[in-house]
């Protein structure tokens, strides 16, 4: 009986331990479920985005490519090209050892000739080839940018005004020049410079409104530009209503008609002039059929009076 009791106690203890383990597992599962429910969905989105990036990485490599450079770009266009190359490397995550070759392959015309001659010169002098994109970028700047390009960019930035261009075109150039100059201006300073470059008519419409960002200034300028376009359209319509196209015969034709009628009247009143103009015309005048003498009528014939 004692042995049976011990066996029964052991079985009960084992059952209690199993139940405790199950309860502990259930509690842990509940805690995990609560954490998952309370957690934001950003982690799941990041995991899905990371998976999509790994799947579509080959598509990006096929579609994206470095823009070509032939050595004939303006200062701001050349700087834009360097920015696009850096953006390409950041997106594709190209290894540093491959970047120089990829950029060299996209060089065309005079830029390609310059690069080939540079590589040959370095080999002839016993120097190592350029292996980093940072070094290659610096050599490109030294070759294709003038020595005073910073001064030129600053002048272009100071002289940037809207003129006859649209607000969008002016804004694009202003932001591009501001980025290339890197003057360390605050946002409010850029806004003041941007507003001073707008057309005076648009500045008047913006008025004394307080503007803190370039985006706000651009929106106000676009609204003012639309108001100007609508005003010009209405003024053209009003001019068309006030000055309609006449349906009558133009004045030069009237003058020609009146002059021709005057000439006809003159020919009728002056028969001698009519003979000069038309030699076949019959001379006008009265002639009595009895005496056959011209210059009088029958009631004034001198022969009849005799």
Asked if 76 and 156 touch (Cβ cutoff 8 Å), the reply is yes
With 50 as the cut, is the pLDDT of residue 230 above it? yes
Q: Which fold has domain 151-232?
A: 1.10.1200
Stretch(es) of the chain classified as CATH 1.10.1200:
151-232
With 80 as the cut, is the pLDDT of residue 32 above it? no
pLDDT at res. 35? 43
pLDDT digits (tens, 9 = 90+) for 249-289: 455 544 544 455 555 455 545 555 544 555 555 555 555 55
With 90 as the cut, is the pLDDT of residue 156 above it? yes
Decide which of 302 and 226 is more confident.
226
Decide which of 224 and 35 is more confident.
224
Q: What is the pTM assigned to this prediction?
A: 0.53
pLDDT at res. 114? 95
pLDDT at res. 36? 45
Query: Which ranges of the chain would DSSP assign to H, the alpha helix?
Result: 2-38, 42-63, 75-92, 96-105, 109-124, 133-144, 149-158, 167-181, 187-196, 200-206, 214-242, 251-269, 271-277, 302-305
CA distances from 73 to 141, 150, 176, 268 (A): 12, 16, 15, 81
pLDDT at res. 109? 93
């Amino acid at each position: 009986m004692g042995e049976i009791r011990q066996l029964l106690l052991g079985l009960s203890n084992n059952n209690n331990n199993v139940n405790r383990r199950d309860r502990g597992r259930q509690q842990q599962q509940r805690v995990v479920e609560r954490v998952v429910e309370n957690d934001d969905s950003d982690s799941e989105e990041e995991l899905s985005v990371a998976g999509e990036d790994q799947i579509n990485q080959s598509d990006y490599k096929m579609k994206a490519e470095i823009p070509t450079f032939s050595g004939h770009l303006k200062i701001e266009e050349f700087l834009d090209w360097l920015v696009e190359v850096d953006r390409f490397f950041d997106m594709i995550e190209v290894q540093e050892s491959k970047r120089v070759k990829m950029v060299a392959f996209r060089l065309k015309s005079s830029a390609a000739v310059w690069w080939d001659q540079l590589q040959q010169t370095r080999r002839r002098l016993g120097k190592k080839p350029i292996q980093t994109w940072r070094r290659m970028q610096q050599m490109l700047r030294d070759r294709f940018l003038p020595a005073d390009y910073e001064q030129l960019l600053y002048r272009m930035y100071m002289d940037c005004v809207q003129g006859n261009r649209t607000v969008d075109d002016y804004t694009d150039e202003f932001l591009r020049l501001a980025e290339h100059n890197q003057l360390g201006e605050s946002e409010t300073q850029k806004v003041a410079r941007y507003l001073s470059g707008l057309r005076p008519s648009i500045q008047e419409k913006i008025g004394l409104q307080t503007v803190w960002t370039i985006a706000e200034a651009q929106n106000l300028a676009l609204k003012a530009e639309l108001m100007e376009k609508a005003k010009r359209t209405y003024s053209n319509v009003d001019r068309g209503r006030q000055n309609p196209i006449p349906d009558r015969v133009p004045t030069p034709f009237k003058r020609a008609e009146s002059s021709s009628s005057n000439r006809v009247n003159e020919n009728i009143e002056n028969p001698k002039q009519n003979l000069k103009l038309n030699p076949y015309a019959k001379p006008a005048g009265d002639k009595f059929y009895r005496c056959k003498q011209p210059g009088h009528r029958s009631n004034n014939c001198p022969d009849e009076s005799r």
